[in-house]
Amino acid sequence: MCGIVGYIGARQASDVILSGLRRLEYRGYDSAGLAVIGDGGNVSVRREAGKLDGLVNMVKSDPVDGLIGIGHTRWATHGVPNRTNSHPHTSMNSRIVVVQNGIVENYLTLKEELQAEGVKFVSDTDTEVIAHLAERFYESGLDFVTSARKTLQRLQGSNAVVMLSPEHPDTLVCARLGNAGGITLGLGEGEMYIASDIPAILDYTRQIVFLENGQMSVVNQNEYVVTALDGTVLEHEVHNIPWDPVSAAKGKYRHFMQKEIAEQPQSIIDTLRGRVDFDKGTVTLPEMNLTAELANKINKIYTIACGTSYYSGLVGKFLLESIARMPTEVEYGSEFRYYDPIVDDKTAVLAITQSGETADTLSAVEQAREKGATMWSIVNAFGSQAMRSADGYIAMQTGPEIGVASTKAFTTSITDQYLLALKLGELRGVLSAERIAELVNDLALLPDMSGQVLNDEAQYEELAKLFHRVEHFLFIGRGINYPIALEGALKLKEISYIHAEGYPAGEMKHGPIALIDETMPVVAIVPQDDLYDKMISQVQQSKSRGGTVIAIATEGDTRIENEADHVIFVPKTSKYLQPIINVMPLQLLSYHIALRRGCDVDQPRNLAKSVTVE
């Protein structure tokens, strides 16, 4: 997924674009570029492979002057990460310049069509066809905006596009087709902003317009219009964003991931705010639009998500089934679409997504919705597609999550599923008011307990010293903590590039135990719950095969230190909330191991924060 920024106004466009791209670099860091129209209508294009710093230095040594421009930071899908394949792409006669996020699925057909007319291509990207196609329409006598519209109508797939033309130095055209990540307009005084995501323009405005699927906008310095692709002018809402620029900055932390791990106690407080009344022992979820009638009509939830959000959904399944007695299946967005799930108007699909823009998740829930399902979402990115298109949603309220490896969104989304389970349990009459009050009360200490886990990083630095050179790790857990083993393994994989597997501990003897020897550390999640003895036996079996065991255990457990090589003690809370506490040591362990290995913790190789292509 790429990051896009556009600007027209009274400031130097390159300044606004580069600061915006800096805030979007988590969306892709294979290459970066910008194009600015200067006096006299000449377009200056600067493009560089690699991280944004390369482009920043290039512009520093060879500045570009102009008050209108577009910029891009890339996550490569078509064409290797190099300067030639970097955006912006310019048409053959330099009359159209384009940046794009997404995939033009019919680009080969369009390319052959254009090549047959003598158009010369210079890159291996799908994007370049957009510039050439628009120029062809333009040179057929159509105006810039109509040429852009005609071009957009020819594109297949999910795409977010911004175009400019040197012959129209007062106009930017942008569009959103499908689920290719957002296009957000930022409204200023005598200036206008375009961005893939809110953090890019938070320094300049809080007045935001979100383009919906199939919408385009023609943007000038003092005005803009939102239309359909056939040119019909459309009504639209202007949102005021509750986030501040500071929340999108690193502050005193070395990395966004470190900051976001440390923010979890506050994130949990923020997600409970306005929803939990500790005195009355009640839960209210205003944006979920839940009624007793709907809660009793729904007989199945399909939780749909990807990556870390999927693992959050696996913990949520335990909460929704055991607390609300609501049958729940958890499905990968990328798989759900391609098998024929049984979905009808008694089904609810619950999308869990930090970014709210993950294409696999969005397309899967849309498909279920077409079959009559009610769509719910638990989402962090304010105003994102998953929030706007839901029948009911729970905003995570954690502020921007910038580190590619998701942390606070994981613990917050589990907390939100706990709230959803309590509310459904209440409305379905399976929970008494007393039981709800008890379960609400268990939340009261959660932020504090999280703080306790996070305030001793020294032990993780020690463990990282011992284990940062190993090439394989195994994470095991049982029951509601099995997904935590999966998440621990994913965190380590993502940021340290160590091969790690998460496994249900009971499955070990059916295969993975063969992997264990003195070179394979085993992280075992061993809380003092009804599966404690079974986990202890897993620890013993791993030890008996020569494995080194790091145990996540609850305070007061006097036995575990005799069983495991290294023990990280965490506070004990209810079995339903223990996974939230248990994952934080795994986040810190991965962070410190990656740090010791010299990895780029916030921008791991080959990854990006929101995956807006299939």
- The residues carrying an active-site annotation are 2, 609
The answer to the question of residue 394 lying near ligand AGP (CB under 6 A) is: no
Interhelix angle 408-427/433-444, rounded to 10 degrees, is 170
DSSP string, 214-225: TEEEEE-SS-EE
Let me know if 598 is exposed, middle or buried by CB neighbors in 10 A (0-12, 13-18, 19+). exposed
Residue number, 48 or 602, with CB nearest to ligand AGP:
602
The answer to the question of residue 404 lying near ligand AGP (CB under 6 A) is: yes
Residues of span 351-370 touching ligand AGP by CB under 6 A: 353-355, 358, 361
How far from chain centre, in Å, is Cα 389? 17
- Residue 115 · residue 121 · CB < 8 Å: yes
The answer to the question of residue 405 lying near ligand AGP (CB under 6 A) is: yes
The amino acid present at 69, given as its one-letter code, is G
Distance separating alpha carbons of residues 480 and 152, to the nearest angstrom:
47
Distance separating alpha carbons of residues 212 and 453, to the nearest angstrom:
41
Residues of span 424-483 touching ligand AGP by CB under 6 A: none
- Mask for 493-522, x = binds ligand AGP (CB under 6 A): -x----------------------------
Distance separating alpha carbons of residues 610 and 406, to the nearest angstrom:
10
The answer to the question of residue 309 lying near ligand AGP (CB under 6 A) is: yes
List 90, 179, 582, 610, residue binding ligand AGP (CB under 6 A)? 610
Q: Please, what is the minimum distance in Å from the beta carbon of residue 449 to ligand AGP?
A: 23
DSSP, collapsed to helix, strand or coil, labels residue 47 as: strand
Task: For residue 241, give both structure tokens.
Answer: 């964003």
Give the residue from 243, 225, 242 showing the smallest Cα distance to 234: 225
Residue number, 320 or 492, with CB nearest to ligand AGP:
492
Q: Please, what is the minimum distance in Å from the beta carbon of residue 604 to ligand AGP?
A: 9
Residue number, 191 or 494, with CB nearest to ligand AGP:
494
Residue number, 313 or 547, with CB nearest to ligand AGP:
313
Q: Please, what is the minimum distance in Å from the beta carbon of residue 355 to ligand AGP?
A: 3
List 17, 202, 387, 611, residue binding ligand AGP (CB under 6 A)? 611
The answer to the question of residue 258 lying near ligand AGP (CB under 6 A) is: no
Distance separating alpha carbons of residues 450 and 260, to the nearest angstrom:
13
Evaluated on CA atoms 211, 215, 216, 219, the torsion sign reads negative
List 8, 35, 218, 306, residue binding ligand AGP (CB under 6 A)? 306
Q: Please, what is the minimum distance in Å from the beta carbon of residue 402 to ligand AGP?
A: 11
Give the residue from 353, 409, 352, 356 showing the smallest Cα distance to 384: 356
Residue number, 404 or 516, with CB nearest to ligand AGP:
404
- Residue 593 · residue 468 · CB < 8 Å: yes
List 14, 31, 215, 406, residue binding ligand AGP (CB under 6 A)? 406
Q: Please, what is the minimum distance in Å from the beta carbon of residue 610 to ligand AGP?
A: 5
Cβ neighbours around 428 below 10 Å, total: 15
The answer to the question of residue 308 lying near ligand AGP (CB under 6 A) is: yes
* List of residues contacting ligand AGP (CB under 6 A): 306-309, 353-355, 358, 361, 404-406, 494, 610-611
